[in-house]
Amino acid sequence: MEPTWHDGLSRSALVELVEGLLTAMDRAVPKLDAVAHHLGLIAQQGEEFEVVGGVADQVADIGDELYTTSDREKLREWGNQIDAPDKAH
């Protein structure tokens, strides 16, 4: 029987969950970038659209955060640290 980790989920279930979340992030980041780009173009149309520029910046920041969070190499290192024998659960 596979050992359970957080909230009783097996390691394989956690891996599937993380892979699903990463796939969702992979799909979301380019869409957020496109939204930020188009909002930025709208903001250039005049002073009445100035607030849209701030929204564009915020959307771009969200995309950047998601991209940084989904760094596979960092996640792999973190997972390997958890799996280290001295970090038994």
Structure tokens at 12: 């394989």
Q: Where are the domains of the chain?
A: 28-79
Contacts of 85 (CB under 8 A, 6+ apart): none
Q: Are 2 and 11 in contact (CB under 8 A)?
A: yes
Question: 3 to each of 11, 12, 79, 80, how far by Cα in Å?
Answer: 7, 10, 15, 16
- Output the pTM of the full model: 0.68
Cα 78 from Cα 40, distance rounded (Å)? 36
The tens-digit pLDDT sequence of the chain (89 residues) is 555 565 677 778 878 888 898 899 899 999 999 999 999 999 999 999 999 999 999 999 999 998 888 888 887 787 777 666 665 44
